Amino acid sequence: MFLRRLMVVISVVLFTACGGGGGGNTTSNTTATITGASGSAGSGNCDSAAGSGSQPGQAVVIPVCAGATQTGINLTVPPPASSPALIAQVLGVGSSATNTGAQIHQGENGSVFLCGTGFAGNLQVSISGPGDITVGTPQLITCLSGSTQTSGIQFPVNVSAGASLGGRTVLVTNSQQDMTAFAGGLEVIP
């Protein structure tokens, strides 16, 4: 009875995995088209019918549980608005980066950077978690790996002394509302 039902809500903001490297995911905040939502509860003990709310811009709720089937759902996700696409490929603290992320200590003031493609213009940065890491103003940088140059962003962070330990996702959004996420790439350690 721990998890009897799992509801997946598909709304106008859809997240699609389009990243390279070890954590880059890209999303586009443009309207998606969802049509033909129908289905049956199947034998998985789902209590509600599928497919409510099929008007453009309205969320469509599709129940998903063991043994259930969903048919006739057509989902269209538009490509990113920016070109090249905003994709985070490596993340680092200080002066080196990897495609698996980096660590930062509780109580540390540091400089975090992301490199990849599409880093240009006015970018906003946020870090997931309980709000115990503050993010300063981001600056565009050029990243160099061997003889290959890519675009990037660098920003100061202040990790509180009592910050929760564990991985954090770094999110970057551009002015076209495209977003890239380096999932769990910044790990807070003691």
Is 9 within a domain? no
For the chain, what is the domain count?
2
> Does 18 reside within a domain?
no
Regarding pTM above 0.75, the answer is no
Q: Where are the alpha helices (DSSP H) in 44-102?
A: none
For 64-76, write each residue's pLDDT tens digit: 677 767 677 776 6
φ, ψ dihedrals at 48, nearest 5°: -115, 155
Q: Do both 94 and 183 map to the same domain? A: yes
What is residue 78's predicted lDDT score, i.e. its pLDDT? 74
Residues 119/182, Cβ–Cβ less than 8 Å: no
| Residue 5 domain-assigned (yes or no) | no
Same domain membership, residue 39 and residue 114: no
The domain containing residue 173 runs over which residues? 87-189
pLDDT tens for residues 143-189?
Answer: 988 889 999 999 999 999 999 999 999 999 999 999 999 999 999 99
Instruction: Determine the Cα–Cα distance for residues 160 and 148; give it in Å rounded to an integer.
Output: 35
117/174 same-domain check: yes
Is residue 46 pLDDT above 90, yes or no?
no
Report the distance separating Cα 20 and Cα 43, nearest Å. Answer: 38
Task: Tell me which of 47, 76, 105 is where a domain ends.
Answer: 76
Pairwise CA distance, residues 172 & 135, whole Å: 12
Q: Is residue 81 part of a domain?
A: no
CA neighbor of 77 nearest in space, from 125, 124, 29, 109? 29
Same domain? For 92 and 72 the reply is: no
Higher pLDDT, 153 or 43: 153
Whether residue 123 lies inside any domain: the answer is yes
137 burial type by CB count under 10 A (0-12 exposed, 13-18 middle, 19+ buried): exposed
Q: For residues 50 and 167, what is the distance between their CA atoms, to the nearest angstrom? A: 35
What's 98's domain CATH number? 2.60.40.10
The domain boundary residue, chosen from 51, 76, 101: 76
Residue 93 domain flag: yes
Whether residues 55 and 103 fall in one domain:
no
